[in-house]
Amino acid sequence: MDVVEIAGYQTGISREGVNFLQPADAFQNIVNGFIYRQVLQSRKGVGYFAPRLADESRITGIFEHILPDGTKELLATDLNFLYKFNTGTGVFDQISFGGSMAAYGGFAIGANDFYVSGTSYPDKDNNPRFVFVCEGFTPNAAGSAIFFYDGTNVLDYTAVADNPDYEQPAEGPLNSATYVLWFNERINFIVPIIDGIAENQGVLFSGIRDSSGNGDKFNVPGSGLFRADTYQNITGASILGQILLLNFNRSAYVLERTRDAFNPYFGRAVPGVLGTNAKFSAVSWADQVHSVGKTGVLACDGRQNLRTDDKIPNFTADEIDQDDFNLTYGGFDRINNQFLWAYKINESDLDTQNGVLVKNYHEKTWATYQVRFSVFGQTDKGLNIPWNQIDETTGNESWARWDTTEELWNRIGVSAETQKTLAGDDLGFIYELNSDYDDYFSSISNITAGTTTTITCTAVGILAGDLVTISNVEGMTEINNFDTETSELTGDAYVVLSATPTSIEINVDSSEFTAYTTGGDISKTISFSAETIPFNPYRKEGNRCFVSHLEFLIDANGGSLLVDVYADQEPTPFKRDILVKPASTTQPNEWVPMTVDQEANFLTFVLKQQSPAVQLRLTSMRIHCMRGGMTSG
């Protein structure tokens, strides 16, 4: 009997076909999980970073605003307003409109594929400013849709009353732009609209930022409009070291800095025929910009623009909705070395993103998450409060519970300066990723019994179709289907039939249950699965494979695992939901066996777990096998 030991070193999620398992290439589909340091694990949950934003609308941007003194502010935008995170209260405060924009009612962004671009850019006296744009902004009364935050109000960047040093370009008034970047000692508006004309291949740049205010002037020497010599449209803009990289529909383009103050840019095309189709999918990291096109996931270093999705070659064409491809938004989780792209799943009934594609560049792995994020961001801001002031009113309702799984008690309130990955959604919530093990979580205040059951709760992002668990309910104890002591489901997860942020209807007939009295929590479950590439190490010798049993090295605190086994890519497994559960409560990891006793041309193993509160961690997997008969095809 041979023993093949594998761990999830590399993976893909495409239709691989018959690609027999090798120790370094183990899994072809991972959903709601990832591989980190050669350990396959279900993903951590998401937690609420702060209470819901006041406008309760789609989050369109999350930004680190770096002030001239080196301190930072955390800003966010939704469909109508700009917000600043208050580190004292843990709440995002809405920023008022001031100056010439005092009567402005809000951004009124009208489509989901419009995102906000922003940059820190001090004025001539080195006072902090945050300049931001969006092609979906409603212009103010002066016809401008380019704004800035001065630390107090949102003002009009192009209004002399608000920005006295501003002077418009020679081509006419500056109306709007798609992207804005502080680069090469000047501010750059990419895809600007000047005098009502969209410069789809253009970069408008100011004069050199100096004490005379030239950094806000677009009609002085050293300012100007650069037009790339292509018919294509700009679909992304990123700073990559000493170059400004522009993504186009079918190519990439580089603006290099020159030593000529009057002609500050030299432009050149990056050879290739691949391009970016999602305008805000670009993520700059290390020496490359990664972006998403309908031809695949791309990486450009300024010299070449190549695909990096060799393990998932069909993903962008098959899995991302082509009509809403431009919804795709890129981010980065530096904690787990992951690129993140929120996208709309193909043929989805929603009109927004409901999936996240993940690439771990260190582990060379791909996975997908079933979460509904609109944008990503990062911060090292957070509440920093003494222990005796921690309660559910300071940021997170789960802090009222001693049995919480959403926070580790030795970390609550002391991680203000810890790097965090953030994400926003359509409902105005901003989440922190990797926040222990709960997912969308809410405290229950009332349950209305009936043939279906309606739950009243604190505001939460749970939606129709989600699977949820309920625990800690008093009175109507029959509805509890999750044991917080063992972190195990005590029944099937409930299906959400309909939902608002504060009212959730589930598929439970509670008409005969005991009356609800108090308490209770509701959580969305994390449904994890990982599928191996078809296994037969003897195929090249013309033999079938007999597998006697499997062994899994599992974290004893990670709950149980269910395994399905398929033969020869049949649509139905011949073994389904086989329980693999550690028995030990004293050692951190345990080898747990599972019998297979099957011969086939090849065998595929699907690992599954469903839980809102534990994280499965699989360090290794041993397959005990031997040569079978000759292959049948």
Whether the pLDDT of residue 428 is over 70: the answer is yes
Which residues, in sequence order, are bridge partners of residue 506?
A: 453, 496
Q: What is the pLDDT of residue 104?
A: 97
Whether the pLDDT of residue 184 is over 60: the answer is yes
Q: What is the pLDDT of residue 13?
A: 75
Residue 195 is inside which H or E element, if any? none
- The total of other beta-carbon atoms located within 10 Å of residue 552's CB is 24
Q: What are phi and psi of 388, to 5 degrees?
A: -75, 0
Q: Any idea which of 37-41, 286-290, 401-405, 608-612 has the lowest mean pLDDT?
A: 401-405
Q: What is the mean pLDDT of residues 206-232?
A: 96
- CA-to-CA distance for 473 and 478, rounded, in angstroms? 9
Q: What is the pLDDT of residue 89?
A: 87
Whether the pLDDT of residue 413 is over 80: the answer is no
Q: What is the mean pLDDT of residues 420-447?
A: 91
- CA-to-CA distance for 385 and 339, rounded, in angstroms? 32
Residue 559 is inside which H or E element, if any? none
C-alpha distances (whole Å) from 407 to each of 400, 401, 403, 615 are 11, 10, 10, 13
Q: What is the pLDDT of residue 435?
A: 77
pLDDT band of 122, cuts 50, 70, 90: very high
Are 218 and 174 spatial neighbours (Cβ–Cβ below 8 Å)?
yes
Q: Any idea which of 25-39, 347-361, 420-434, 520-534 has the lowest mean pLDDT?
A: 25-39
Q: Which of 592, 622, 590 is nearest to 605 (CA)?
A: 622
Q: Which of 175, 170, 74 is nearest to 133 (CA)?
A: 175
- CA-to-CA distance for 405 and 613, rounded, in angstroms? 6
Q: Which long-range contacts (CB under 8 A, 24 or more apart) does 345-354 make?
A: 345/319, 345/320, 345/321, 346/318, 346/319, 346/320, 346/321, 346/322, 347/321, 348/321, 351/112, 351/324, 352/58, 352/112, 352/327, 352/426, 353/327, 353/328, 353/329
Q: What is the mean pLDDT of residues 554-580?
A: 93
Higher pLDDT, 187 or 539: 187
Q: Which of 138, 126, 120 is nearest to 63 (CA)?
A: 120
For the stretch 596-617, pLDDT in tens is 999 999 999 999 999 888 899 9
Of the CA atoms within 13 Å of residue 305, those in its CB half-sphere come to 25
Exposure letters 252-287 (e unless 16+ CB within 10 A, then b): bbbbeeeeeeeebbebebbeeebbbbbbbbbbbeee
- CA-to-CA distance for 428 and 79, rounded, in angstroms? 9
**Strand pairing category for 543-555 and 488-489:** unpaired
- CA-to-CA distance for 121 and 196, rounded, in angstroms? 25
In the chain, the N- to C-terminal Cα span, in Å, equals: 24
Whether the pLDDT of residue 247 is over 60: the answer is yes
- CA-to-CA distance for 426 and 433, rounded, in angstroms? 16
- CA-to-CA distance for 62 and 449, rounded, in angstroms? 40
For the stretch 261-298, pLDDT in tens is 899 999 999 988 899 999 999 999 888 999 999 999 99
- CA-to-CA distance for 516 and 523, rounded, in angstroms? 18
Are 422 and 63 spatial neighbours (Cβ–Cβ below 8 Å)?
no
Query: What percentage of the chain reaches a pLDDT higher than 90?
Result: 75
Q: What is the pLDDT of residue 389?
A: 54
- Burial category of 570 from C-beta neighbours within 10 Å (exposed 0-12, middle 13-18, buried 19 and up): exposed
**Strand pairing category for 430-433 and 441-448:** unpaired
Q: What is the pLDDT of residue 408?
A: 47
Single-letter amino acid code for the residue at 360: N
Q: What is the pLDDT of residue 358?
A: 96
- CA-to-CA distance for 29 and 360, rounded, in angstroms? 14
Higher pLDDT, 162 or 395: 162
Whether the pLDDT of residue 331 is over 50: the answer is yes
- CA-to-CA distance for 486 and 478, rounded, in angstroms? 18
Are 521 and 401 spatial neighbours (Cβ–Cβ below 8 Å)?
yes
Q: What is the pLDDT of residue 406?
A: 43
Sequence-ordered list of residues with C-beta below 8 angstroms from that of 131, at least 6 positions apart, any chain = 118, 119, 121, 146, 147, 148, 157, 180, 187
Q: What is the mean pLDDT of residues 83-101?
A: 95
Which residues, in sequence order, are bridge partners of residue 489?
A: 482
Whether the pLDDT of residue 62 is over 50: the answer is yes
Q: Is the dihedral of CA 620, 624, 630, 632 positive or negative?
A: negative
Average pLDDT value over all residues in the chain: 91
Q: What is the mean pLDDT of residues 109-126?
A: 97
Q: What is the pLDDT of residue 486?
A: 81
pLDDT band of 15, cuts 50, 70, 90: low
Exposure letters 376-385 (e unless 16+ CB within 10 A, then b): bbbbebbbeb
Does residue 370 sit in helix, strand or coil?
Answer: coil
User: What is the pTM (predicted TM-score) of this model?
Assistant: 0.92
Higher pLDDT, 94 or 583: 94
Residue with the two structure tokens 């945050």? 130
For the stretch 125-171, pLDDT in tens is 999 999 999 999 999 999 999 999 999 999 999 999 999 999 999 99
Are 326 and 332 spatial neighbours (Cβ–Cβ below 8 Å)?
no
Residue 374 is inside which H or E element, if any? none
For the stretch 457-513, pLDDT in tens is 999 999 999 999 999 999 999 999 998 888 888 889 999 999 999 999 999 999 999
Angle at Cα 536 formed by Cα 530 and Cα 537, nearest 5°? Answer: 115
- CA-to-CA distance for 52 and 49, rounded, in angstroms? 9
Look up residue 586 and give its DSSP letter: S
For the chain, what's the residue count?
Answer: 633
Q: What is the pLDDT of residue 162?
A: 98
Single-letter amino acid code for the residue at 579: L
